[in-house]
Amino acid sequence: MRKDKLIASVKDKVGTMYGDRTIAEVVSNVVIQIFGQLFARDLSQWDLYVKEYVADIVRTDTETYTLHPVPVIQLPDSANGVRFIYSEKESNRRFEPMPQQSFITYSKLGMSELTQTVGYMVYTDRTKFWNLPLSVEKVREHIVTPFAEWSDEEDFPLPSGMAQTIIDATVDSMRGNPTATNIYKPKQ
């Protein structure tokens, strides 16, 4: 469903007292809650909601990272909301998500001399890298992007039968009505 049509459907029910940006933020929160339940067993479903961004590498004395150009939907796996990363110029370079402890362990063991793999860890505002060579100045990140960050004309993919559930939950939230915290249980 197009983003602007979903917002218009909510606006038809709540009236014009809310702006499109406000409605988009509430829809974003509802989508995260509902999709979190729908996709709990198969996080790869979130890959439908990625957008590709080119990011400059920032290097300091203590870390190497990129800043996220948009908010990232945090997911419960090591890739988190950054599903894929690859170098702009070095197509053979492999990027793998890894937990913080792996950064420390691999560094202590000198693994950077044994592998071409680049480790990454996703934070709220940035992606940090381990073993990123100086030759890499930009990367392409596939970020799970919230509904509010999509353009109005874009088609926001919704699972079959979920449009009305999302509209109703958004309207309930905006009206201050309690919403079901579990989509598999109807409201009481």
Q: Positive or negative, the Cα torsion across 93, 126, 51, 54?
A: negative
pLDDT at 49 over 70: yes
3-state percent helix, strand, coil for the chain, nearest multiple of 5: 35, 20, 45
Among 99-108, 139-148, 154-163, 167-176, the least confident range = 99-108
Is residue 23 predicted with pLDDT exceeding 70?
A: yes
Question: pLDDT per residue over 77-126, tens digit each?
Answer: 989 999 999 998 887 888 999 887 776 776 677 666 666 789 999 999 99
The Cα 108–Cα 103 span in angstroms is 9
Domain boundaries, the chain: 3-38+158-174, 44-144
Residue 142's pLDDT band (cuts 50, 70, 90): very high
H helices then E strands: how many in the chain? 4, 8
Give the pLDDT score at 183. Answer: 67
Give the angle subtended at the CA of 46 by the CAs of 88 and 65, to the nearest 5°.
40
Q: Indicate the angle between helix axes 163-174 and 20-38, nearest 10 degrees.
A: 120
Could you tell me which residue, 185 or 120, shows the higher pLDDT? 120
